[in-house]
Amino acid sequence: MSSAIGKGRYAASKLLQDPFDSMMNTCSRGLMSNGENQDRERYLRDRIATIVQAHEPARRKHPTNEEIQILRRAVGRLDQLIADAAADEEARCRRAKEEEAQALRIAAARLDQLLTDIATKETALELKLRHPRKK
């Protein structure tokens, strides 16, 4: 019985020290069992630790000469691929411009022909207009 009284005094003194914390613990215990609380706390602790570790700056190791050579060769290959792609794109643009210019020349020639045809037909129309049509 004296141990129960001692625990009661401890609980009362704790309640006076932090009444809000005590109330929250009492409410949580009523909603979840102690094991569930511990599991939840463990999960949150692990989650916080994972987040903190993920945001710690990574320690850089110095690359070896072999790794540097591999990276330089890869950079060279990438530069070559980019240069080839740029040359292909430039050639494609030149071909597109040539095709467009050719299409414009063909359209201009057709327009000239149409204008010529219209000019000759106007003369024919003037001749036809001099003779009234029969209704």
CA separation for the pair 31, 29 (Å, rounded)? 5
Mean pLDDT over 10-20 rounds to: 47
CA separation for the pair 88, 99 (Å, rounded)? 16
Taking the domains of the chain in order of start, what are their residue ranges? 2-55
**pLDDT tens figures, 24-72:** 454 444 555 777 878 888 888 888 888 877 776 655 678 889 999 999 9
* pTM attached to this predicted model: 0.38
| Residue 13 CA from chain centroid, whole number | 56
Task: Answer for the pair 32, 40: CB distance below 8 angstroms, yes or no.
Answer: yes
State the pLDDT at residue 105: 97
CA separation for the pair 26, 21 (Å, rounded)? 9
State the pLDDT at residue 25: 53
Q: How many residues does the chain have?
A: 135
Which tokens belong to 27? Answer: 């409410």
CA separation for the pair 3, 10 (Å, rounded)? 10
